[in-house]
Homo-oligomer: A and B are copies of this chain.
Amino acid sequence: LEPGQIASLLQGKGLRVTPQRVAVMGVLSRRREHLSAEEVFEQVRQELPNISLATVYKALGELRRKGQIRALPVLGRLRFDLTSNPAHHHLVCEGCQRVVDVELGTLRWPEMPPEALMGFDILSVEVILRSICPDCREPSTRQPASNNLQEGAKL
């Protein structure tokens, strides 16, 4: 997204166009994965060295409330992406908590009874496939995969 487009989005939502917010949106639009607040902070910092983490949190919160971004809780922390980004889903291992992104193509709902949605407007569908990865399936054979959370693995 271009700064200009971002500015329009912000104004359209009645938010002031500050360099901090433009930078946050910019970072999210350039990265395809969901970023944690800390990661957004690190990225934004490169263009705005003085920005504070609290400001990033405030910007993310404001943007989420206005429907521009989504907050997805993964592994005890929130990860963000643009509402407009192409959908992708998460395969998470209940054993080692490893998270893998998966493209499941266009998900269509076999039968999603509108009355069950209680008048909510669906913005996006996040699918979390809870699973056991090959490494964790055989506890005896289990090898410390490089990016696994080991033993003292967090809840």
* A contact set with B: CB distance below 8 Å: 57, 60-61, 64-65, 67, 70-76, 78, 91, 93-95, 100, 102-105, 107-113, 116-134, 137, 153, 155
Copies in the complex: 2
With both beta carbons as reference points, the residue of chain B lying nearest to A65 in the complex is identified as B95
Whether B94 and A105, one on each chain, are in contact in the complex, defined by CB atoms closer than 8 angstroms, is no
Give every chain B residue within 8 A of A117 (Cβ-Cβ): 91, 102, 129, 131
Knowing A131-B122, A132-B121, say if A104 contacts B109 (CB, 8 Å): yes
The answer for the CA separation of A130 and B72 in the assembled complex, in Å, is: 9
Give every chain B residue within 8 A of A122 (Cβ-Cβ): 129-131
Give every chain B residue within 8 A of A155 (Cβ-Cβ): 57, 60-61, 64, 71, 78
Between-chain CB contacts (< 8 Å), 24 pairs? A61-B155, A64-B94, A64-B155, A65-B94, A65-B153, A70-B94, A71-B94, A76-B78, A91-B118, A91-B120, A102-B116, A104-B116, A105-B110, A107-B110, A108-B110, A110-B110, A117-B129, A121-B137, A122-B131, A123-B130, A125-B128, A125-B130, A126-B128, A126-B130
